[in-house]
Amino acid sequence: MQKLKENVTISISNSKLGLSIPSINLPPITTCRKNAPCSKGCYATRGNFCFSNVKNSHLRNLDIYKNDPTFYFDSIRLASALSKYFRWHSAGDIVDEQYFVGMVKVARQNKDTNFLCFTKKYEIINEYLNSGKRIPKNLTTVFSNWDNFVCENPFNLPTTWVWAKEFNNEIIPKTSIPCAGKCYQCQACWQLKKGQSVFFKKH
C-alpha cells in the first residue's frame, strides 16, 4: 500500500500571534546558527513547545522541506493566501539559501499577504542581496540581535534587540520601538522599514 504524504503543519494557535496570524515552525536549535547566543534557555524549547505533538510537527515540517521542498512551499503558499499577515518561524530559523529562495517565491505569489521573518542567519540574506536579487516588499526580513551578538547589516535591514538586566542595553538604538506583546493587536514588525528596530524584554 502506498504511504500517504504527510501534511505540513501550519500553526494558528500562538498566544502572541493570535488566531488570525498563522505561522510555520521548525525545530529550534537544529535549524538555528551553531553559535546562536540565545540557544541556552531558548523560549522555543520551553512551555507548549515541549509537548511531543508540537516537537513532532516541527520535525515533520523540516523533514518535508528536505525531501519535497516544492510540496513544502506550496503548502505554505496555500495556507497563507487568505491571511493578511503570516509569520515565518516562531520556532526555528531559515534552513539554508534555497529555503530563503522559497520564502521569497511564496511572498511574490501571495502579494496581498504580509510576511515576517526574524533571523540570526544574516549571512544568507546578505549573500542573497549581494548577488543583486531583491526581497519583495511584502516580506519583512528582520535581523535578530542578542546582547553583543550583532548581525552584520550592510543593507541596513530592520533589526530586533533584546533588553535584559545582564545585557549591554546601551547598544539598543534610542529610536527602537518597545514590543507591545500582542502581534495580533499591533502588527508593527510587519511594517518595519530599513533602519528601524524593535526591542523585546528577554523571555
pLDDT tens digit sequence for 177-202: 999 888 878 899 999 999 999 999 98
Q: How far is CA 193 from CA 41, 86, 124, 190, in A?
A: 30, 17, 19, 9
Per-residue pLDDT for 95 more than 70? yes
Which phi and psi angles does 122 have, rounded to 5°? -65, -25
Encode pLDDT of 128-170 as tens digits: 999 999 999 999 999 999 999 999 999 999 999 999 999 999 9
Q: What pLDDT, on a 0 to 100 scale, did the predictor assign at position 53? A: 82
The pLDDT of residue 42:
73
Cell of 30: 537544529
Q: What percent of the chain stands above pLDDT 70?
A: 90
The pLDDT of residue 14 is 61
What is the predicted pLDDT for the residue at 184? 76
Query: What CA–CA distance (Å, rounded) separates 142 from 201?
Result: 17
pLDDT at 1 over 60: no
Q: Name the average pLDDT for the chain.
A: 91
Q: Cβ distance 149 to 40 under 8 Å?
A: no
108/61 Cα distance (integer angstroms): 22
The CA-to-CA distance between both ends of the chain, in Å, stands at: 47
Q: Which of 119, 149, 118, 117 lies closest to 35 in space, CA to CA?
A: 149
Q: What is the model's pLDDT at position 85?
A: 96
User: What mean pLDDT do residues 72-91 have?
Assistant: 96
Say what the pTM is: 0.92
- Give the model's confidence band at 102: pLDDT under 50 very low, under 70 low, under 90 confident, else very high: very high
pLDDT given for residue 181 in this prediction: 81
**pLDDT of res. 75:** 97
pLDDT tens digit string along 32-76?
Answer: 999 888 877 776 666 666 668 889 999 999 999 999 999 999 999
Q: State mean pLDDT over 9-29.
A: 81
Note the pLDDT of residue 3. Answer: 47
Ramachandran quadrant class, 160 (left: phi over 0; alpha: psi -120 to 50; beta: rest): beta
